[in-house]
Amino acid sequence: MRKDFLWGGAVAAHQLEGAWNVDGKGVSIADVMTAAKHGVERQITAGVQPGAYYPNHQGIDFYHQYPTDIKLMAEMGFKTFRTSIAWSRIFPQGDEVEPNEAGLAFYDRLFATCLKYGIQPMITLSHFEMPYHLVEAYGGWRDRRLIDFFLHFAKTVFKRYQHQVKYWMTFNEINNQTDYTKAFFMATNSGLVLKPDDPQAEALMYQAAHYELVASAKAVQLGHQINSAFQIGNMINMTPIYPLTAKPADQLAAQKAMQTRYWYTDVQTLGTYPNYMEAYFKRQNYRPDITAADRAALQAGTVDYIGLSYYNSFTVKAQTNQPEYRFLGEQATVANPYVQASDWGWSVDPDGLRYGLNWLNDHYHKPLMIVENGLGAVDQVTADHQIHDDYRIAYLKAHIQAMKTAIEVDGVDVMGYTPWGCIDLISAGTGQMSKRYGMIYVDQDDHGHGSLRRLKKDSFYWYQHVIATNGQDL
Ligand code: BGP
């Protein structure tokens, strides 16, 4: 393990800040997302009222309670804290020229608090969030003009925080939109609100993703011009895809599925579209607007490191009616008989983390940063205010062990580890509170009721010890 290994935790602005309409903040897509129940998809529906959904509009009131929360993270020994900047706090509509000073001032205070404790802020520019106005007026990332709006936002925050923030990431889990049949991913990744079964969905996804990739590459270049010490990464969701059997057709299906899901990383680290994607566009007769200038920008703006989230693995088998297997998202997967699943049906597969780290290392030869990992679970508070989350400790322990094996046995360069939702927050997938990831408990239910009091779970003390021993003692 590196001596300067970046232990910490990760969150995203829209999942914990609350204060959705405070200090000049504009409405973001997160403020109009429905709160889903188990099995009901979260999405943006027509006529939805901003802030109507509890408790996602109030988060955990981090906007006001961050001094206490960061202090608790410091007590755990965090070296870094990953969060995002809410674009809609800085540019409420997204297409203005002048930023909102009150929004900028909030992150000044937050970052100063982190730095006071020796915690380095690690910032995602766009984590499932953009001003809703950009969706209404431009249709989200289907419009090329979004590139310049995003760059103006990026430039503003790069300049403002250049002495406080060294580690940046552009778009959170940019590859989730591979699953273009899911309204949730289309909205969160690209601000695309489509009718169910829109025949244009796939083509639109590629177009939007391309503009994001260009924006990401240009932001990398811009950031380096502003401060050459910046480390700017991409962020992908690494969900390894295994073949169900040794049957060659299943092996090929898994390989094709990996290509369908990870080509974004080729563009962001190698600076070019892989051949199989160019061939696919031709075959499908898709003609995305990709200019020569765009290709030059992609080449010039490759990332310094790969940020990744890891939760689970998928398994696929060849489809007889699909000679050229394309991965159409989670619903195309089959159950893996060798792994168990969480309460939310996510497979629990620590070996998959080692697999994913090796896969990324082999393909891209870049440093890796695990910026999300964790177990969403229902926690019980005992009468004496304890939370005995041994299941969470077991999950994190097994995954940290897998990461250590990748580092020490396989020689993979991993810069740090920031488990997801180190403090309980609103689930991105459900918009609810009860799917908890934190080492710090927050007293609030799915309806927004509760004291918002913070409590230390057993995992708090366990993780504190892991950090203190630099991962030696799990
Ligand atoms: C990732 C997102 C996070 C986060 C996490 C857990 O995909 O980057 O924002 O929420 O997943 O997902 P969920 O909240 O749906 O359990």
pLDDT at 302 over 70: yes
Q: In angstroms, what is the span from residue 251 Cα to ligand 1's centroid?
A: 29
Q: pTM here?
A: 0.97
Query: Which neighbouring-strand residues pair with 59?
Result: none
Of 420, 422, 424, 430, best ligand 1 pocket probe by most atoms within 8 Å of the beta carbon? 420
Q: In angstroms, what is the span from residue 437 Cα to ligand 1's centroid?
A: 10
Return the ligand 1 atom nearest residue 426 CA: 14
pLDDT of residue 13: 98
Nearest residue CA, atom 3 of ligand 1? 428
pLDDT at 69 over 80: yes
Nearest residue CA, atom 14 of ligand 1? 427
- pLDDT tens for 364-388 read 999 999 999 999 999 999 999 999 9
pLDDT of residue 342: 87
DSSP per residue, 77-143: T-SEEEEE--HHHHSSSSS-SS--HHHHHHHHHHHHHHHHTTPEEEEEEESS--BHHHHHHH-GGGS
Over range 310-336, report the average pLDDT. 82
Q: In angstroms, what is the span from residue 427 Cα to ligand 1's centroid?
A: 6
Residue ranges around ligand 1 (CB below 6 Å) = 12, 15, 128, 172-173, 237, 309, 372, 376, 420, 427-429, 435
Over range 286-308, report the average pLDDT. 98
Over range 296-301, report the average pLDDT. 98
Q: In angstroms, what is the span from residue 12 Cα to ligand 1's centroid?
A: 9
Return the ligand 1 atom nearest residue 427 CA: 14
- pLDDT tens for 144-188 read 999 999 999 999 999 999 999 999 999 999 999 999 989 999 999
Q: How confident is the model at residue 57 (pLDDT cuts 50, 70, 90)?
A: confident
Nearest residue CA, atom 15 of ligand 1? 429
- pLDDT tens for 402-422 read 999 999 999 999 999 999 999
Q: How confident is the model at residue 322 (pLDDT cuts 50, 70, 90)?
A: low
Residue with tokens 């007590």: 75
Catalytically annotated residues: 173, 372
Return the ligand 1 atom nearest residue 128 CA: 9
pLDDT of residue 254: 93
Residue with tokens 């939007």: 208
Nearest residue CA, atom 9 of ligand 1? 428
Residue with tokens 């490191």: 305
Angle at 55 between CA 30 and CA 370, to 5 degrees: 60
Q: In angstroms, what is the span from residue 291 Cα to ligand 1's centroid?
A: 33
Q: What percent of the chain has pLDDT over 90?
A: 87
pLDDT of residue 319: 81
Return the ligand 1 atom nearest residue 346 CA: 16
pLDDT of residue 196: 76
pLDDT at 38 over 70: no
Residue with tokens 């695309």: 192
pLDDT of residue 197: 85
User: 457, 440 in Cβ contact below 8 A?
Assistant: yes
Least confident piece of the model among 6-15, 191-200, 356-365: 191-200
**Which residue in 234, 233, 281, 274 sits closest to 255, CA to CA?**
274
Q: In angstroms, what is the span from residue 371 Cα to ligand 1's centroid?
A: 11
Q: In angstroms, what is the span from residue 56 Cα to ligand 1's centroid?
A: 13
Over range 313-323, report the average pLDDT. 81
The per-residue pLDDT of the chain, averaged, comes to 95
pLDDT at 323 over 70: no
Helix (H) or strand (E) holding 292: helix 292-300
Of 239, 372, 424, 425, best ligand 1 pocket probe by most atoms within 8 Å of the beta carbon? 372
What's the length of the chain?
Answer: 474
Return the ligand 1 atom nearest residue 429 CA: 15
Q: In angstroms, what is the span from residue 22 Cα to ligand 1's centroid?
A: 24
- Distance (Å, rounded) from C-alpha 374 to C-alpha 253? 28
Nearest residue CA, atom 2 of ligand 1? 428
Return the ligand 1 atom nearest residue 12 CA: 9
Return the ligand 1 atom nearest residue 435 CA: 16
Q: How confident is the model at residue 213 (pLDDT cuts 50, 70, 90)?
A: very high
Nearest residue CA, atom 10 of ligand 1? 428
What DSSP state is assigned to residue 199? Answer: T
Residue with tokens 């709160």: 35
Q: Which domains does the chain have, with CATH numbers?
A: 6-468 (3.20.20.80)
Write the ipTM. 0.98
Of 174, 178, 309, best ligand 1 pocket probe by most atoms within 8 Å of the beta carbon? 309
**Which residue in 142, 69, 122 sits closest to 231, CA to CA?**
122
pLDDT of residue 55: 84
361 alpha carbon, distance to own chain's centre: 19
Q: In angstroms, what is the span from residue 401 Cα to ligand 1's centroid?
A: 22
Of 427, 430, 435, 446, best ligand 1 pocket probe by most atoms within 8 Å of the beta carbon? 427
Q: What percent of the chain has pLDDT over 70?
A: 98
pLDDT of residue 321: 63
pLDDT at 109 over 80: yes
